[in-house]
Amino acid sequence: MTGNEIIFATANFNKASEIQQLLGSSVRLLTLKDVDILDNIPETGKTLKENAALKAQYVFKRKGLPCFADDTGLEVDALHGEPGVYSARYAGEFATDENNIQLLLKNLNDITTRSARFVTYICYIDATGAEHFFSGELAGEITAERAGEGGFGYDPVFRPNGSGLTLAQMTLDEKNRISHRAIAFRQLVKYLNNKD
């Protein structure tokens, strides 16, 4: 694949940078801003997979070009899978990453078993309108305190199993080797490279 452009249904520059690094130079990633979709895409699905599909369908209907969307959630066992599909708005519709982390730590205040996992679903819609799904998971635990300056979202309080570092303490390369999003996107990249 050379010179291909694919729309990534995100306005999150950090996320787009992570994915562009995984894709390398074979694909040029266009964000929602690049294609003048500035409205908030409704995420009304009851699952991460449904939300990924809804976002990709929205972009495909508007532009008619190959596109993909992802939805990622943090599932904490002691909280019965919360925040899950509501991870980005756990502390409310306009919550910041910090608001969400504060609520999570508060809800886990007296809990010692803090096992959790990040889950990512991707929906890729090809030029014919066919949908293809990919997923990735990263198991770990929620730390008692924030650590690290990198990453975004819940990264400062999520420590992957077998690591002494939170995701926010890792370099982008280190994170991309193990992350839920990287696992799912590697599947997408493999699919894109093999479909021609």
Active site residue 71: yes
Amino acid in position 194: N
- The upper half-sphere exposure of residue 85, i.e. CA atoms within 13 Å in the direction of its Cβ, equals 10
Q: Which of 139, 34, 30 is nearest to 77 (CA)?
A: 139
Catalytic residue among 34, 36, 39, 71: 71
Residues whose CB is less than 8 angstroms from the CB of residue 184 and which lie 6 or more positions away in sequence, other chains included: 70, 120, 121, 122, 134, 135, 136
Return the axis-axis angle of helices 180-194 and 13-23, rounded to nearest 10°.
50
Query: What's the token pair of residue 99?
Result: 């608001």
Q: How far is CA 54 from the centre of its chain?
A: 15
Catalytic machinery residues:
71
